[in-house]
Structure formats: C-alpha cells, structure tokens
Amino acid sequence: MNAPYDGDRAQGTGGPTPPQGTAPGAPVPGQVPAPAPAPDHDPYVQDAYDYDPYRGQDLSAQDPVAEVLYDRASHPPPPPGTYQEPGPLYAAPQAPSHGPDPRVWAQTPPPEPDGPSRHLPYGDHATTTQFVGVDSLMTEAAEEQPAADAFTHLYRDQQAAPGTPAQEAPVAAPAPSKPAGRASSLLKSSALMAAGTIVSRITGFARTLVIAGAIGVATLNDSYQVANTLPTMIYVLVGGGALNAVFIPQLVRAMKNDEDGGEAYANRLLTLVITLLGAVTTVCVLAAPLFIRMMSPTIAGDPKRLDVAVAFAHYCLPTMFFMGVHVVLGQILNARGRFGAMMWTPVLNNIVVIATFGAFIWAFGGFTASGVSEATITAEGVRLLGIGTLLGLAVQSLAMLPYLRDAGFKPRLRFDWKGHGLGKAAGLAKWTFFFVLANQIGLVVVTQLATAAGTAAEKLGHGGTGITAYNYALLLWQMPQAIITVSVMTAVLPRISRSAHDGDAAAVRDDISYGLRTSAVAIVPCAFAFLALGVPMATLLYASAGKDAVNIGYVLMAFGLGLIPYSVQYVVLRGFYAYEDTRTPFYNTVIVAAVNAGVSVLAYFVLPARWAVVGMAAAYGLGYVVGVGVAWRRLKTRLGGDLDGAHVMRTYTRLIGACVPAAAVAGGVAYGITHWLGSGAVGSLISLVGGGIALGAVFLIAAKRMRIEELNSMVGMVRGRLGR
C-alpha cells in the first residue's frame, strides 16, 4: 500500500522482450529477477507479483506530475471502453493493451510483500519521498506524538524542506487540552475569590457581633439598619445592577475589539459612574428624612427614632458613591482576569467598622451594661458610628487603586462618552433598572412590615424579631451563596459572555450546567444545615443579645431551604446577561418580588407579631422557587431547547436525598444537647459542633452510596491536594 501498483501505466503490452538465443526462464540482462512463487496455501499473495511492469523501466520516468500535465490535445486518450478495467481487489492486474489513461491515476494496490516497505521510491529520489501506509500507522503508534491536524501525517512529504528526509520533518506539537486549561484557570480564580469572600464574610460576622454588642438587636439597631440599607438600595437602583449585569460583557468586548485593550472605554465608564453617583448622592443626602419615612412609617411615627435614623442616614448615604467606585474598579480588574481585589478589599471596610463600634463600646459601654436606645444615645455616639461607617466604604474603594496600577490600568477622567458604546449599554441598562426597581420595591415592603412587626413584638417582650433579625439572618444565610456560587460565576461570566458573543450556545449551556452542579455540592447541604442548626448558630454568634438571639435563629431556619432556588436563580440569570438580554431578568424579578411581597403581607396579617418576620423569611425563598421555574424555561428556549436539565436535576435530586436524613439526625442531636446544656454560648457551641458532625457524617455516607459524581470529584481533588 506504500507504493501503488500501477499496472495500467506500462508502456507496452508486457515486459521487455528477451534477446534471441536466451533460454526460457533465464535472467534477462538489466531486468529485475522475478520473485519466487508464493506458497500455494496463501491465496492472498499467490502469484501476486508474477508480473511487474517496472522491471525493465526507468523508475524516474513514472512521474505523477507529468500525468497531471498530460496534453490531451496533442495526445488524445483512447476512446472509452478500450482501457483495462480494475480487476479484483487482491489479484494481480492484467497486462493492459494500451497506453496509460490520464483519467485513472492509480488502481487499488495489491498487498505489500514481506519485510519493510516504508521507503519505496516513487518519483525523483527515494530519500525525499515517503508514502505512509498501514504498517507505518501500526509500528509508529507508540512513537509519534499526536499531531494538531488529524491528516498531517498524510502530507509529510509536502511539509519536508528540500533536501531533508521526510521522516525527520518536525511534527506539530499537540495542542494543549483546552477544557483542562480552562478548568484549571477557573478553579484558581474561584479559589482566590472564595478565600477572599470567606475572610470578608468572617470579618462581616465579627462586624455584626460587635454592632450587636454595642447597640443590641432591638429598635435602635433597627434604626441603624434602615439608614445603612438606604445607600445600598439606591446605589443598586441607580447603577449597581447595570454595572454588574451589563457592563461586564461590554468591558470584555472592549478588551477584545479595541486597539487599546478597552482602557479608554473603562475610563469613560468610570467617569460616568463618578459623575452620576456624585449627583445622586448629593440629592439623596438632602432628601434623607423623606427616604426614612418611605422605608419605615413606624420609625417616622416616633420623633426621637426619626431624628436618630435621619442622623445615621446623613452619614450612611454618601457611602453609595464609594460603592459605585469600588464596583466599577473591581469589574475593570475582573475583565482583565484579576479577581482577588474585589473580594479582599471589603475586609478593610469590616475592620474599620469593627474598630468604630469597638470604640463606641470602649467609650459608652456595651449594650448589656448601658441599655442604649434611641432615647439615650448621644449626638457624639451617633456621629462616631456614622463617620466610622462612611470611612469604611471610602477605604474599601480607595484600596483598589494599587491593584489597578499593578494591572497596568491608569484611571483618567474622560467625558467623551458619545459614540463609544455607552449609549448601547445604557439602553440595555434600562431593563436592569426596572429589574432592580421591582426588587427594591419588594424590599421596601418587607422593611416596612418587619419594622412594624418588630416594634409590636418588642412591646410584648420579644426582642430581636424586627428588621435587624431579618438582615442578620439573611447575611448568614447568604454566606454560602457568596462564597461558592458568586465566586464560581464571577470567574465563569466573562467566559460565558465570549461564548455568547461567538454564538456558541453549547459552550454557554455547558458553563451554566457546570455552575449549577458545582455550586450545588455546597449549597444544598448548607441549606439543610440552616434548617437543622439555625437556632444554635444564631445563639452562638449573637450570644451578647441574650434570649433575643433565639428569634434570629428561627428566622434563619425559615430562610434555610430557600437557599437552593436562590442560588439556581443567580446562575440562570447569568445566561441572559451574557446575551445582553436584560428584559427577561426584569420580568423574572417582577414575579419573584410580587410573590415575596404578597406572601410577606399575608404573613404579617395572619401570624402573631413574633412570628411575622419568620413567615417573611419563608416568603423570600418561595418567591425564588417560582422565579426559577420561569427563568429555567426561558433560558432553555434561548439555548435551543437544551439546558442539560437531566444532568442538573439528577445532581440536585441525589444531593437532596442525601441531605434529608442528615438534617433529621443533626436536628435531633442539636435539640437534645440544647435541652440538656441550655442555649448559652457553651451549650450552643457544643450543640452546633455535635449536630454538624452528625450532619456531615450521614450526608457523606448517603452521598457515597448514591454515587454523586460532583461530590466524588471534589473529595478526590481535596485528597489529592493533601497527598493521600
């Protein structure tokens, strides 16, 4: 098969004529001796080479290039039907009765003879030509490296430089495994962000503990929470949602398409955010009393509480400016593959706030000793807490500048906004604005109801049942989401955006499926852990609040299982944002906010004041259950009817099946220990540790029996890192 057996190329009807007088069977001078006949028992090689048309001919005369350049006008081919038709596959060809037919380049070759035949000459020189056949593919299978092009080995004779043996021609190095490289980079980015988020959340919990130790978890803290929530709500409404959802894909496209790597576009965006948020912040500080009345009519009905809340708001509202600067600088770094700064700088904010409330405790005493309230807190105390809160956000945003300098980005003010794509982004952002508006309306409703329920419950002797309990439980509940899901999807979102821009729906689907299944390994067990161990978690963390901490635990239990649809919703919406579709997330959020607000109103009027906020926490998760069902169907249609649903559902179903018995056992263990040792700090710690061990052990046993692929991969990776 290496050297085609071109029997039809013979120039005559047979081999050369022997000279007169030569005995039959004697060798003819200049002629290659005929091979010995093959054994009779092998039909495949018997008589296969009895006739050799090349024996008396010049090998260099058989040039395939000359055949291609055959002049049909001067030498017309024989009429059809007069040339030799191909014979049987493994039989020796019959001698042709005419010259070569230029329309037939080569017939099917017979089997190769015994022995090496890789360098049979066919052309000018044997050292410059190599024909690759089955023997080469078999004998060199373990010697050659795989080529980037599957057909490269068929054309090595064309790739060799003149005068270089073909077998020594360099073979293209195999391309690196793209999925493995992408996965490795993704894991590194996710690990870096997860580490920063973990530290940030830990210091964030320390912050809430110090705040609770300074001003308690009752009505004074409710006033601070309302004032401190305002800037976040307004910032997200004005531009935060657009920055996160719209401008990341735009930054990625600018880096890919612009000659300067997107630096000018990023500076225009930074200038726009500074200008817009500067104006909005000024207006909001002046309108602080109006915002407090809108957020909580209950607080507005008490003149002393209103004065304290407005004073807090005057210091807290300017933080929205620094929030915007921090986010846009962080997204510029994310678009350049620098994910750590945005996750680590909030630690500085937490440290500043912890120091501020620690100074308050040092100056005025802790809450258990001082019993500070709206009626007793001094103007100096309000000023100290307000300035510390503002300073924390300022430090957080300014700490991004060294990271930008290290990434080679130079922040500059650029007001040439027209004609550079910001208008397109603003058009996309209008639906994000409505998206955030619907979400914030639902949050305002919950804040109004929770502050009213907390005030009524405190009059009955049940503290820690207002908006402070709701926010503290929500902060703890969202920790797995921030550590796992957000970290994974922040690293995946630029990749999804590029795939969507390239029209690769399969890659978008695979990344969405990867984000869902990878995050589920941690999200589902954490959701059941909150359900089973919510009370000992809260009583341990907020032991300084006394018996009021138990009510925070009940709220945390109600949030529990809602973590699963909450995480799924976050991942699914990233798919729409990658396609620059902000309208669908808006409609989806309207549904979620409507369900959340409607069920919260129902809980407020149906449940006792102590349990009203617990019902509102359950309504939060129920709203996302409905929202996931709507978003999933729409994204599935967008990706051509395939969202890897069977694979994703199988993973979630098995994880839930493993968590149900684990949560039941853990809850029983925790309840028994708490009933025995009480709900103090020591009893809560032992209860939490015992219940956590029981939950982890039962879950791992059940998950192993269910053969959950993603969990097994994670355990194997951890064991590999540990060298076991």
pLDDT value at residue 511: 85
Query: CB neighbours of 587 closer than 8 A, spacing ≥ 6?
Result: 630
d(CA 540, CA 555): 15
DSSP string computed for 630-693: HHHHHHHHHTTS---HHHHHHHHHHHHHHHHHHHHHHHHHHHHHHHHH-SSHHHHHHHHHHHHH
Longest CA pairwise span in the chain (Å): 137
pLDDT value at residue 201: 79
Identity of the residue numbered 87: G
pLDDT value at residue 228: 92
- Sign of the Cα torsion 82, 85, 91, 93 reads positive
Place of tokens 């039809």: 8
Place of tokens 């004032």: 227
- Using CA atoms, how far residue 138 sits from 134, 172, 491, 688, in Å, is 6, 20, 44, 63
Identify the segments of the chain with pLDDT beneath 70: 1-194, 239-249, 252, 256, 258, 260-261, 417-432, 435, 712-724
d(CA 711, CA 708): 6
pLDDT per residue over 652-697, tens digit each? Answer: 999 999 999 999 999 999 999 988 888 788 889 999 999 999 999 9
- Sign of the Cα torsion 273, 276, 279, 284 reads negative
pLDDT value at residue 189: 60
Residue 647 half-sphere exposure, CB side, CA atoms within 13 Å? 15
> Torsion over CA of 334, 590, 554 and 470, rounded to 10 degrees?
70
Q: b/e per residue, 642-660, with b = 16+ CB within 10 A?
A: ebbeeebeebbebbbebbe
Task: For residue 513, count other CB atoms closer than 10 A to its CB.
Answer: 18
Closest by Cα among 92, 85, 111 to 1: 111
| Token couple for 545 | 């609040």
The angle formed by the CA atoms of residues 566, 572 and 573, to the nearest 5 degrees, is 90
d(CA 601, CA 286): 31
- pTM for this predicted structure: 0.63
Query: CB neighbours of 297 closer than 8 A, spacing ≥ 6?
Result: 448, 452
d(CA 229, CA 471): 10
pLDDT value at residue 270: 82
Identity of the residue numbered 441: I
Query: Which sequence spans correspond to the domains of the chain?
Result: 190-420
Task: Answer whether 666's CB lies under 8 Å from 530's CB.
Answer: no
Rg (Cα) of the chain, in Å, rounded? 38
